[in-house]
Amino acid sequence: MSTQTIPAKAPARLLQERNIWLATNRPDGRPHLTPIWFVWQEDKIFICMKPDSVKARNLAANNAVALSLEDGSDVVICEGTAEYVAPPWSPALMAAFKAKYNWQIDEDKDYGHVMAITPQKWLSWGPA
């Protein structure tokens, strides 16, 4: 199934699952794939990274991304665009990372580069 509307099973999984796979594009066109912590909030996927990481540099040059939840039998894939979110971050966003990972993002000096992914296309197959 390919759709602009989020699959019915996706919101609950986005709230519960710990990791998501993030695909970005290197300047030479090669893909870069990495697992990353995330939160689902306000119909966006928020991720944090080091500002000098490969993924951050890739996103600065090309903000197109693909994300996939870990289960290869019950697939949820999102294609979208990433946008930098400057601090101060909303209390709700900080609380979401704290609740999910026991991680206070505003106190982490290394991983303080927050990006918001706006979904543009969803793909899903497997059990309903």
Confirm whether 117 is domain-assigned.
yes
Tell whether the model's pLDDT for residue 33 goes beyond 80. yes
> Where in the sequence is the domain holding 60, given as residue range(s)?
2-123
**Which CATH number goes with the domain that contains 94?**
2.30.110.10
54-81 per-position pLDDT tens digit: 999 999 999 999 999 998 899 999 999 9
83-96 per-position pLDDT tens digit: 999 999 999 999 99
Q: In this predicted structure, what is the pLDDT of residue 3?
A: 54
24 exposure class (CB count in 10 Å sphere: 0-12, 13-18, 19+): buried
Number of domains composing the chain: 1
Q: In this predicted structure, what is the pLDDT of residue 1?
A: 45
Which of 91, 92, 87 has the alpha carbon at shortest distance from 114?
87
Confirm whether 19 is domain-assigned.
yes
Q: In this predicted structure, what is the pLDDT of residue 68?
A: 98
Question: In the chain, what is the straight-line distance between the N-terminal and C-terminal CA atoms, in Å?
Answer: 12
Confirm whether 107 is domain-assigned.
yes
